[in-house]
């Protein structure tokens, strides 16, 4: 079947049409003329794979990675970066159309500059002398010697692991957490049994990366540690401690811009109490507290909540799920609610409980415009209006986009 790709769609697909039916094609680029074969057919849409490129799009570029197309880490590394940004703006607008009353509220996407070597966190899989990420929609490990998305010290560590594959034969997973300025690398390995060569690997990593190494090996509920267990990051000139198991925004080049945006949008409502849900280690909490905000911060993940208490001692920190916290906070009023939920968005209870609270405004940070629109639709019915939307390219070369949205009561 000959198919022209019209645009990019959610999930990272190229989108074309055949006799009125929408066809989703992985790795299709707008402007491509392709020979495709349908792999999954439905009444109104189908999925197809590329059999040949009859005429490549002018926006198609050579990906700077030999395993692109096999590795599941990136979907758009073969697309000119400005076209990726335009596509993400269009996808976000499409998802938010039912809550976006004023086109002027939608701001142009903020790019990641640079858009390579931005990634500070990665989970590597180890299987049969192969180290890499999973293949797209598979548990097959794609071996790689270098990832253009990861920081240089993460890539140096990857080479060290290959040099010690024999000693790592019992290791299943390796989590890497890089300092944004590449001063420290925290490494956590999941092993089937105790790693006998832990000291040898630790010293090799220090020598090869020329940075501070914190190495943890976890096996059968036990853990061995060498080097630091935490590292200090900086957001808007404020120090934050983070550790192996904590969430921290993955793109080192844009996370400060994200924090600054949230702070800027929050300032008009800092006269009253602020409720922050899914607070993590305090990426937004700390700058807000320093700006004089009175914050109740909720975090259900125990390690993150502990770091949150250390990073923002002036905040009222709740180590609880958002569901449990909102149940107990239902009689309190807040001038502002800030939330940064997972990709799945808010649970039905959290969505309803937020709507029931007395508040002037809600700042919603999301990595999924679809679930963001779903949650905001309920609040719109309760009298809120979307006044500000700012997309950011937190995840270059993928179909994902970060959003900051502000909805105001009345």
Catalytically active residues, by annotation: 367
Q: Retrieve residue 216's tokens.
A: 């943890």
* Tokens describing residue 375: 């949650």
Cβ(339)–Cβ(365) under 8 Å? yes
CA distance 374 to 20: 28
Instruction: Give me the residues paired with residue 2 across strands.
Output: 35
Dist CA 202 CA 222 (whole Å): 18
Read off the DSSP letter of residue 282: S
CB atoms inside a 10 Å sphere around CB 170 = 16
DSSP assignment of 171-228 equals EEEEEEEE-TTSSEEEEEEEESS--TTHHHHHHHHHHHH-SEEEEEEEETTEEEEES-
Residue 294: CB atoms within 10 A of its CB come to: 16
| CA pair distance 324, 305, nearest whole angstrom | 15
Residue 190: both structure tokens together: 């999941």
Q: Give the Cα separation of 346 and 197 in Å (integer).
A: 44
> What's the CA gap between 119 and 125, in Å, rounded?
17
Question: What CA–CA distance (Å, rounded) separates 89 from 100?
Answer: 13
Q: Which among 96, 10, 122, 89 is positioned nearest to 392, based on CA atoms?
A: 89
What is the Cα–Cα distance from 83 to 14, expressed in whole angstroms?
12
C-alpha–C-alpha distance, residues 259 and 28, integer Å = 34
* CA nearest neighbour of 247 among 156, 342, 329: 342
For residue 278, the SS3 value is: coil
DSSP for 362-402?
A: EEEEES-HHHHHHHHHHHHHTTEEEEEEEEE-SSTTSS--E
């Amino acid at each position: 079947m000959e198919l022209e790709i019209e645009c990019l769609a959610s999930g990272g697909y190229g989108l074309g049409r055949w006799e009125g039916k929408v066809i989703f094609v992985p790795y299709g680029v707008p402007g491509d003329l392709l020979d495709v074969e349908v792999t999954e057919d439905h009444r109104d849409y189908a999925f197809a794979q590329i059999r040949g490129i009859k005429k490549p799009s002018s926006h198609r570029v050579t990906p700077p990675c030999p395993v692109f197309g096999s590795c599941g880490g990136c979907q758009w590394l073969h697309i000119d970066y400005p076209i990726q940004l335009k596509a993400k703006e269009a996808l976000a607008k499409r998802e938010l159309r039912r809550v976006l009353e004023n086109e002027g509220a939608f701001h142009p996407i903020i790019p990641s500059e640079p858009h390579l070597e931005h990634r500070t966190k990665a989970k590597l899989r180890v299987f049969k002398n192969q180290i890499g990420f999973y293949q797209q929609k598979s548990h097959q490990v794609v071996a790689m010697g270098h990832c253009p998305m990861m920081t240089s010290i993460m890539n140096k560590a990857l080479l060290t692991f290959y040099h010690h594959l024999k000693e790592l034969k019992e290791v299943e997973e390796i989590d890497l957490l890089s300092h944004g300025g590449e001063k420290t690398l925290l490494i956590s390995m999941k092993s089937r049994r105790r790693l006998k060569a832990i000291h040898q690997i630790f010293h090799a990593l220090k020598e090869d990366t020329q940075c501070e190494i914190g190495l943890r090996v976890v096996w059968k509920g036990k853990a061995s540690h060498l080097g630091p267990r935490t590292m200090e990051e900086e957001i808007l000139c404020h120090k934050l401690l983070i550790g192996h198991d904590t969430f921290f925004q993955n793109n080192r080049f844009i996370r400060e811009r994200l924090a600054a945006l949230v702070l800027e949008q929050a300032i008009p409502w800092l006269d009253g109490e602020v409720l922050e849900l899914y607070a993590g280690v305090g990426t937004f909490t700390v700058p807000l507290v320093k700006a004089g905000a009175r914050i109740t911060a909720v975090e259900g993940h125990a390690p993150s909540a502990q770091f949150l208490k250390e990073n923002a001692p002036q905040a009222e920190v709740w180590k609880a799920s958002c569901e449990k916290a909102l149940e107990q906070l239902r009689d309190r009023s807040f001038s502002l609610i800030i939330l940064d939920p997972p990709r799945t968005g808010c649970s039905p209870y959290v969505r309803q409980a937020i709507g029931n609270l007395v508040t002037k405004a809600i700042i919603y940070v999301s990595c999924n415009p679809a679930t963001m629109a779903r949650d905001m639709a309920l609040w719109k019915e309760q009298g809120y209006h979307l006044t500000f939307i700012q997309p950011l390219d937190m995840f270059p070369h993928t179909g994902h986009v970060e959003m900051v949205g502000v909805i105001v009561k009345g």
